Amino acid sequence: FPSHDIVGMSGAGKPFALNAEGNIDPSFLGIGSTDESIVVKASETIEAGKYVNIYYTTETLVRKADAQLSRPCIGFVKEQVQAGDLANVYLYGFSPKDPTIVGSKYYLGESGNAVTIPDKSTAGIVQLLGMGINEQAVYFKIYEYLKIV
């Protein structure tokens, strides 16, 4: 993410860098700044394209979603984020996944990954994430999950 030391009155008039897509990084706009994403502090390193779980301890944090650990998916990240840094969590839309099987349903797997066949053999959850819409993307939407006991 671009530097956050230009916020507030002391940051007035200072330049900032655009993100890799050539846009103003949503983290500059704060939580709830867009309809499709929120900014949340990462509790662990999360690689680009991973599906994530938002939870609360003493603060709101984001980590990798995981079906085996019963951590339901609430969104995904498009860029890698380090533990302690702010992550842009996308709540719906085109999630980068390469390769994708067009027309296949994708379910939450382990460590923020998507799978085409959910593991129903052990305790955890089964959660639909979306459908492959082209060779590089899954259309993601938040779906309810089923608890496996």
Distances (CA, A) of 82 to 47, 66, 87: 8, 18, 9
Render pLDDT for 53-85 as a digit per residue (tens, 0 to 9).
Answer: 999 999 999 999 999 999 999 999 999 999 999
Closest CA to 125 of 138, 110, 139: 110
Better-scored residue on pLDDT, 1 or 57: 57
Least confident of 1-5, 7-11, 61-65: 1-5
Whole-prediction pTM value?
0.76
Say how far apart CA 13 and CA 27 lie, in whole Å. Answer: 18
